[in-house]
A and B are shown apart, each in its own frame.
Chain A
Amino acid sequence: AQSVTQPDIHITVSEGASLELRCNYSYGATPYLFWYVQSPGQGLQLLLKYFSGDTLVQGIKGFEAEFKRSQSSFNLRKPSVHWSDAAEYFCAVVQGGTALIFGKGTTLSVSS
């Protein structure tokens, strides 16, 4: 069965610094990969997705992610973090063409 691992439970980044959140997946074929963000009291919002093609994908709010098949990774990056980026971030892969399998999430704190 497919699985997603987010190795970092909690990360703290200074405002204005760069960010990288790690995601590793287990999947036999070419995966459909997603990053979602969840702010307190808010629903999950899609940041970006990878289906095929260019391995560097751009998303909303200045985020990007790079698909690396050789490393089974889909890490999320942002060059300059804003205080409003503090939230929980989830990486997910589609299983069976429908259901999303999520990682346990990484909580991002932003220090001033």
Chain B
Amino acid sequence: GAGVSQTPSNKVTEKGKYVELRCDPISGHTALYWYRQSLGQGPEFLIYFQGTGAADDSGLPNDRFFAVRPEGSVSTLKIQRTERGDSAVYLCASSWGGGNEQFFGPGTRLTVL
């Protein structure tokens, strides 16, 4: 595809439920990043993949958050036992290797009721 795509664009769930957010990076990009943007804030780093492995997961807020990238392309961010404080826009970005220009997707807006 032409750019990074993310699905769904909007997700509404209830407190305590499990959600999965998907990211399709630009074809050929080896690096993939997840960020979270709360209202009125800049994006905050969550996790960085180089290929299939998580090279840096220092931004994940707690063990309810987990992300995978099993084939080195599509990535899924998984949130267990969602809380109202998890409500935010989740952004995905990809690049030609770590440290290069990151291209961002449109984001998934998660609302936890």
The answer, yes or no, to whether B51 is at the interface (CB within 8 Å) is no
- Complex: A99 Cα to B106 Cα, angstroms: 18
SS class, residues of chain A in contact with chain B: strand
Q: Tell whether, in the assembled complex, residue A43 and residue B42 are in contact, meaning their CB atoms are under 8 Å apart.
A: no
User: Which chain A residues numbered 36 to 69 have a C-beta less than 8 Å away from chain B?
Assistant: 36, 41-46, 49
- Residue of B with least CB distance to A90: B42
Of B45, B93, B103, which contacts A101 at CB under 8 A?
B45
How many B residues are at the interface, by size bracket?
20 to 34
Q: Tell whether, in the assembled complex, residue B42 and residue A102 are in contact, meaning their CB atoms are under 8 Å apart.
A: yes
Q: Tell whether, in the assembled complex, residue B59 and residue A99 are in contact, meaning their CB atoms are under 8 Å apart.
A: yes
Q: Tell whether, in the assembled complex, residue B101 and residue A46 are in contact, meaning their CB atoms are under 8 Å apart.
A: yes
- Complex: A107 Cα to B4 Cα, angstroms: 24
A91 CB to nearest B CB, Å: 9
A112 CB to nearest B CB, Å: 26
The answer, yes or no, to whether B40 is at the interface (CB within 8 Å) is yes
The answer, yes or no, to whether A97 is at the interface (CB within 8 Å) is yes
Q: Tell whether, in the assembled complex, residue A43 and residue B45 are in contact, meaning their CB atoms are under 8 Å apart.
A: no
Chain A positions within 8 Å of B, measured between CB atoms, are 4, 32, 36, 41-46, 49, 90, 92, 94-105
Chain B positions within 8 Å of A, measured between CB atoms, are 3-4, 31, 33, 35, 40-45, 48, 55-56, 59, 91, 93, 98-99, 101-107
Subset of 13 A-B contacts with CB under 8 Å: A4-B42, A43-B104, A46-B102, A46-B103, A97-B98, A97-B99, A98-B31, A98-B56, A98-B99, A99-B56, A100-B45, A102-B44, A103-B42
